[in-house]
Amino acid sequence: MSTTVVPPAPLSRRVLPYVMLSPAVLVTLAIVFLPMVQAVWMSLHDYVLFRPKDFAFVGLKNFIAVFQDPVFWVSLQHTAIWIAVTVPAQMLLGLATALLLNQNFPWRGLARALVIIPWALPSVVIALMWVWIYDANFGVLNDFLLRMNLISTSIPWLANPDTALYAIILTLTWQGFPFFAVMILAGLQAIPASYYEAAAIDGASSFRQFWHITLPGLSGVLMTATLLRLIWVANSIDVIFIMTGGGPGYSTYTLPLYALVEARTGLDYGYGSALAVVFTILLLGFVVLYLRRAGRNIA
Amino acid sequence: MMVRKNSLIRRLLTIDLPVFLIICFTLAPYLWMALTSVTEKSKLFTEGPSLTGATLNNYARLFNTVGFGTNLRDSFIVAGGTVVVGLALAVPAAYAFSRFRFKGRRILMLQFLLINMFPLVLLILPLFILMKTLGLVDTYLALIIANSTIAIPFSVWMMTSYINGIPRSLDEAAMTDGCTRFGALYRVVLPLCAPGIIATGVYIFITAWNEYLYALTLGGRHVKTITVAIQTLIGEYQVEWGLLTAGGIIGALPATVMFLFVQKHLIAGMTQGAVKG
């Protein structure tokens, strides 16, 4: 811009970008930042929806209650397992898929198009079809495992507290690995072919090429995609909400789910907000890491 | 000749077969759902889902008895409205980010990114209270507003990367030829980034169509989107898997079809930012 116009830039030109931005910024302030502040404000109050008149300021009472709440600690533990299993599983499967889809084979275009389908499906539909697959009496998974003689009796995957969380983790892995595959594939295509040619001339094996060219070349994409996915997986509650609603017992409670259930069924918006705020603060470290990476790319 | 044959077998074993298995893993649940949806109710629990004697009864019931038609309409209105709001706000903002260098640009760009990272659960509670105070619960507007919280930030970033791809020299040439800045935006930039606008629009449509928790919390008897309708089905017709899976297929179809049409543009826009990282 600076090359074409003689200084100083007229006022209208300096104001124009802000004018063009203001609708988007004002709307997001009103519908995102304002509610967020309100959530923090609610968390400092006693606020139960069927007693809306009692909006008493209680300071940190809700937060103290959170840390003394055994369900909070159970949910926190589940959130940790949920992230620690799902994200690496999605990443490894996504990496393998991307490496394969980067090879030459006749139906590559078709395979690339098909592999992303789970990503475009509504989470309600994903939950629905996996509940059907896991069904204790007629589900295809039990049927398959019984026929292969891998199990001797049907397992109620979602009704058993020991398997429910992992069953949902498998569902979420299925839903999320295509995202990694697509991201990593784009990263692979950005690595110059000449690197591989040079390495091949020097006699490097394909494993060494992978280790010394592919992985370093992908590190940026892997880091960004992992952070992004971690934040989304941590936040994602709709699949759990529909598949088990947190049950059986508390065995599939994660922190954001607990906050939602507390507000929706308990109607305790003060305590629910406090849970949501605590969860957000715990997540903030990863968000800051991600924003710093993204910020470096803003030209 | 021998070598070539060996390498073909090797390729089939190391590439085609694993890709085939992965594709099976991604498609099998979907195909299983489709198969279940065309199986007669009486046969489902005796012989299991099968293609022999396929029937569309479940689909007919879905529209005639359960009233899926109105749910589809609601979803279209909400998703379409979100597309309009999202694009109308995001395109000018993206143009400003792409073409101007001004104070606070970086912070403003990052704040849009930050919004996308917020836990939905933190927003959903106050948004419900807000909509209740404004008397907007169970209206299209409430759902469009709620979905915009997701749509606006993402489309601002996507559109910025698309507009960045259009050389600035083009707008400058137009302006030297006597176009105003808005003239240049309208006549040069917008037509050139039409594929980007379409891809962004489709992305917004898909996310709004697929959205569930806002629709559940802010919707109601009058505005009930397809995702909520499917979930209600799960509660009401617990063991009627034929009907349920038919609902799932209908609910997934519009988004999947749209996605397959624009996936190339969409993926280019989505991955651009990350690959540079």
Three-state DSSP class for residue A4:
coil
Q: Pick from A18, A36, A116: which is nearest to B263 by CB?
A: A116
> If we measure between CA atoms, which residue out of B150, B98, B259, B264 comes closest to residue B196?
B264
Q: Are residues B25 and B64 in the same domain?
A: no
Number of domains making up chain A:
2
Kindly state whether residue B252 falls inside one of the protein's structural domains: yes
* pLDDT for B276: 39
Q: Please tell me the distance from the alpha carbon of residue A280 to that of residue A222, in angstroms, as a whole number.
A: 23
Q: Is some CB atom of chain A closer than 8 A to the CB atom of B178?
A: no
Please say whether the beta carbons of B82 and B147 come within 8 A: yes
What is the ipTM, given to two decimal places?
0.85
Kindly state whether residue B47 falls inside one of the protein's structural domains: no
Q: Are residues A107 and A17 in the same domain?
A: no
Q: Half-sphere exposure of residue A54, counting CA atoms within 13 Å on the CB side?
A: 10
Kindly state whether residue B205 falls inside one of the protein's structural domains: yes
* pLDDT for A9: 66
Question: Which residues of chain B have a CB within 8 Å of the CB of A279?
Answer: 119, 121-122
Cβ contact (<8 Å) for A121 and B252?
A: yes
Task: Identify the domain containing residue B254 by its residue range.
Answer: 59-276
> pLDDT digit string (tens) for B27-59?
888 888 888 888 877 777 777 777 777 778 888
Q: Are residues A36 and A146 in the same domain?
A: no
Q: Are residues A129 and A243 in the same domain?
A: yes
Query: Mean pLDDT per segment of 10 residues, for chain A of length 299 residues?
Result: 56 81 88 88 81 74 85 91 93 92 85 85 90 85 85 83 91 90 86 85 84 86 87 89 86 90 83 89 88 79
Question: Which residues of chain B have a CB within 8 Å of the CB of A138?
Answer: 44-45, 48, 241
Q: Are residues B82 and B114 in the same domain?
A: yes
Q: Are residues B149 and B191 in the same domain?
A: yes
Three-state DSSP class for residue A264:
helix
Distance from CA of A134 to the nearest CA of B (A): 11
Q: Are residues A71 and A141 in the same domain?
A: yes
Question: Which residues of chain A have a CB within 8 Å of the CB of B172?
Answer: 4
CB pairs under 8 A between A and B: 276
Q: Are residues A17 and A141 in the same domain?
A: no
Number of domains making up chain B:
2
Kindly state whether residue B241 falls inside one of the protein's structural domains: yes
Q: Are residues B183 and B268 in the same domain?
A: yes
Q: Half-sphere exposure of residue A79, counting CA atoms within 13 Å on the CB side?
A: 24
Kindly state whether residue A96 falls inside one of the protein's structural domains: yes
Q: Are residues A128 and A187 in the same domain?
A: yes
Kindly state whether residue A52 falls inside one of the protein's structural domains: no
Phi then psi for residue A56, to 5 deg, are -85, 135
Three-state DSSP class for residue B127:
helix
Q: Are residues A17 and A69 in the same domain?
A: no
Kindly state whether residue B50 falls inside one of the protein's structural domains: no
User: What's the token pair of residue B83?
Assistant: 């597309």
Q: How far is CA A235 from CA A8, A34, A280, B119, B271, in A?
A: 47, 20, 9, 5, 21
Which H or E element spans position A46?
strand A45-46
Q: Are residues B144 and B243 in the same domain?
A: yes
Please say whether the beta carbons of A103 and B15 come within 8 A: yes
Q: Is some CB atom of chain A closer than 8 A to the CB atom of B244?
A: yes
Task: Identify the domain containing residue A27 by its residue range.
Answer: 1-43
Comparing alpha-carbon positions, the chain B residue that sits nearest to A265 is B217
Please say whether the beta carbons of B213 and A238 come within 8 A: yes
State the burial class of residue A220 (Cβ atoms within 10 Å of its Cβ: 0-12, 13-18, 19+): middle
- Provide, rounded to the nearest whole percent, the portion of chain B with pLDDT above 70: 94
Q: Are residues A217 and A74 in the same domain?
A: yes
Q: Are residues A36 and A135 in the same domain?
A: no
Kindly state whether residue B101 falls inside one of the protein's structural domains: yes
* pLDDT for B35: 87
* pLDDT for A45: 83
Domain containing A234 — which CATH number? 1.10.3720.10
Kindly state whether residue A49 falls inside one of the protein's structural domains: no
Q: Pick from B149, B217, B252: which is nearest to A125 by CB?
A: B252
Q: Are residues B20 and B97 in the same domain?
A: no
Q: Are residues B116 and B221 in the same domain?
A: yes
Kindly state whether residue B9 falls inside one of the protein's structural domains: yes
Helices (H), chain B: 2-11, 17-37, 41-44, 57-64, 68-99, 105-117, 120-134, 140-164, 168-176, 181-184, 190-192, 194-210, 213-218, 226-236, 241-276
The reported pTM is: 0.87
Q: Is some CB atom of chain B closer than 8 A to the CB atom of A118?
A: yes
Distance from CA of B183 to the nearest CA of A (A): 14
Kindly state whether residue A9 falls inside one of the protein's structural domains: yes
Kindly state whether residue A256 falls inside one of the protein's structural domains: yes
Residues in B 62-121 with any Cβ partner in A closer than 8 A:
88-90, 92-93, 95-97, 99-102, 105-106, 108-115, 117-121
Q: Are residues B138 and B16 in the same domain?
A: no
Q: Are residues A101 and A8 in the same domain?
A: no
State the burial class of residue A193 (Cβ atoms within 10 Å of its Cβ: 0-12, 13-18, 19+): exposed
Q: Are residues A178 and A142 in the same domain?
A: yes
